[in-house]
Amino acid sequence: MKTRGVLLTLLAGALAVAAAVWLRDAIEWVDVDVRTFPKDKVARDRFYVAKALVNALGATAVARRSLDALPPPGATLVLGSSHWNMFPGRDDALRHWVEGGGRLVLAENATFGALAIPEWLPIRRVEAARPAAPASGPAARPRVDYCHVVSEPDTVQPAFTLARSYRVCASGGGRLRELAATPQWALEDLGGTRMLRVPVGRGSATVSVLRGAFANNGIVADDGALVFAAALGLRSGDEVWFVDEEARTPFLRALWAAAAPALLLALAAFALALWRGGPRFGPLGAEPRPARRSIGEQIRRTAAFIAAGDGRALHRASLHALEATAARAIPGYAALPSFDERAAAITRHGDGDAAALAAAMRKPGRAHALAAAIATLEHARRALLPKARAARSPNSLQVRIP
């Protein structure tokens, strides 16, 4: 038995070694580049790499969140906001700054809408034609290569001594054309002009329709850094301002800074209202002492009951209660044959009008008359109660109601 167990163990080990060798020879191991997403500051700022490149080349990068203040004359402004002209006066102020010697660079955002080109710039944007759909059949969409080659034409001054081509990773957002202006620098491909710089007064304006070319991924890919430096005309000692999407002080923070005392008073009033209207462990005030209901209240409640429905059963019950009380208070009452005689006996020993009581003891036809009859019967019954309590109650009481 021991020899058999050892043989089985050796056989299992040999099979495991053979399977491992087969897997090693049968599987092909290939290295694959996996895209990693930006984190921290790089994820929050799409110009993070561009600012680092500006600082590394001896210039100064300045980050701004709005165009409330413009850069000093001679500086470079990289404008990536899609809504930079949403406030009145922004367009005129930017124009005066550029004409006074500023260098403007309009960088199109790869995420938001198309960048608004000012009307006073001699540059216009021409949308690219959409590719035609396949004639028939479930044809797959063609693969689009976002990294393409752009070149400096011979008609412009090259950025780095000699004209050259660049490989840029960005998506094309149309093409550009100039109006009555001689371009200072440009990049173009088979689809047309993608970047263009023209003089404006003593300054210049550069427009790019390559979406994402100046973002973090665009600069670190292929010739993205060279294209960025060429588009800015970057030199050592320059001051480069970056203005991305507009950002204002949050509303609640601005409201607190402007009206903190009013907010505190409003919060205190709100807390007081909650405290006054909130649940408590006891009643808000002392509860009234329990007391017997008055005849007036009982009559009003009875009338409300009658008005809500048929009160004939209640009239019969009231008449029965009056007859029982009268039988205890008035000797020989049960032998009286008619309502008139009984009403007369009741009014002699109690109070009220005999004729009205006799009419109430009969069955009224209308609801308002029924309520008045019930009130008359109850008034007569309560007038007889003292005598009924004083009289000795018989062992058995039989009352005949005609």
Among the ranges given (19-23, 143-147, 201-205), the one the predictor scored with the smallest mean pLDDT: 143-147
| pLDDT tens per residue, range 174-185 | 778 787 778 888
Full DSSP string of 88-145: TTHHHHHHHHHHTT-EEEEE--SSSSPPPPPTTSSEEEEPPPPPPPPSSS-PPPPP--
Residues 33, 35, 39, 45, CA torsion sign = positive
205 Cβ neighbours under 8 A, 6+ residues apart: 98, 103, 104, 105, 106, 121, 123, 197, 198
Say what the pLDDT of residue 131 is: 46
- The yes-or-no verdict on residue 1 having pLDDT over 60 is no
Quickly state the pLDDT bin for 299 (edges 50, 70, 90).
low
Name which residue leads in pLDDT, 144 or 163: 163
**CA distance linking residue 240 with residue 228, whole number of Å:** 12
Among the ranges given (8-17, 304-313, 347-356, 382-391), the one the predictor scored with the smallest mean pLDDT: 304-313
Say what the pLDDT of residue 141 is: 43
Name which residue leads in pLDDT, 105 or 147: 105
Phi, psi (rounded to 5 degrees) for 60: -120, 125
**CA distance linking residue 214 with residue 219, whole number of Å:** 6
Between helix 367-390 and helix 354-361 the angle, nearest 10°, is 110
Please state, rounded to an integer, the average pLDDT across all residues of the chain. Answer: 78
| pLDDT tens per residue, range 21-65 | 888 777 877 777 766 666 667 777 788 888 899 999 899 999 887
Query: Domain segments of the chain: what residues?
Result: 40-127+145-243, 295-390
- The yes-or-no verdict on residue 397 having pLDDT over 60 is no
According to DSSP, the β-strands at 123-126 and 171-172 are: unpaired
Run of H or E including 79: strand 76-79
Residue 235 identity: R
Q: Are 209 and 202 in contact (CB under 8 A)?
A: no
Q: Supply 88's token pair.
A: 């009145």
- The yes-or-no verdict on residue 110 having pLDDT over 90 is no
The runs of H, that is alpha helices, within 239-351 are 251-277, 295-308, 312-329, 339-349
| pLDDT tens per residue, range 227-275 | 889 888 888 888 999 987 766 667 778 788 888 888 889 999 998 888 8
Name which residue leads in pLDDT, 85 or 166: 166
**CA distance linking residue 1 with residue 332, whole number of Å:** 121
Say what the pLDDT of residue 136 is: 47
**CA distance linking residue 105 with residue 204, whole number of Å:** 9
**CA distance linking residue 351 with residue 372, whole number of Å:** 16
Say what the pLDDT of residue 144 is: 42
Q: Where do the DSSP E strands lie in 113-255?
A: 123-126, 147-151, 165-169, 171-172, 175-178, 185-189, 192-200, 203-208, 210-211, 239-243
Say what the pLDDT of residue 103 is: 92
**Architecture of the domain spanning 40-127+145-243:** 3-Layer(aba) Sandwich (3.40)
Q: Are 106 and 205 in contact (CB under 8 A)?
A: yes
In 3D space, the residue among 310, 298, 318 whose CA is nearest the CA of residue 373 turns out to be 318
Segment 71-100 shows an average pLDDT of 86
Q: What is the C-alpha end-to-end distance of the chain, expressed in Å?
A: 114
- The yes-or-no verdict on residue 399 having pLDDT over 60 is no
Say what the pLDDT of residue 346 is: 82
The model's pTM is 0.53
Task: Give percent of the chain with pLDDT exceeding 70.
Answer: 78
**CA distance linking residue 38 with residue 77, whole number of Å:** 25
Say what the pLDDT of residue 108 is: 74
Q: Decide: residue 258, CB within 10 A, 0-12 exposed, 13-18 middle, 19+ buried.
A: exposed
- The yes-or-no verdict on residue 369 having pLDDT over 70 is yes
Say what the pLDDT of residue 96 is: 93
Residue 268 identity: A
Question: Which of left, alpha, beta for 128 (phi over 0: left; psi -120 to 50: alpha)?
Answer: beta
Q: Supply 208's token pair.
A: 């790019």
- Residues 160, 165, 170: CA angle, nearest 5 degrees: 110
Q: Are 184 and 103 in contact (CB under 8 A)?
A: no
| pLDDT tens per residue, range 315-346 | 788 888 888 888 888 888 888 888 888 888 88
Among the ranges given (6-10, 99-103, 117-121, 388-392), the one the predictor scored with the smallest mean pLDDT: 388-392
Say what the pLDDT of residue 236 is: 86
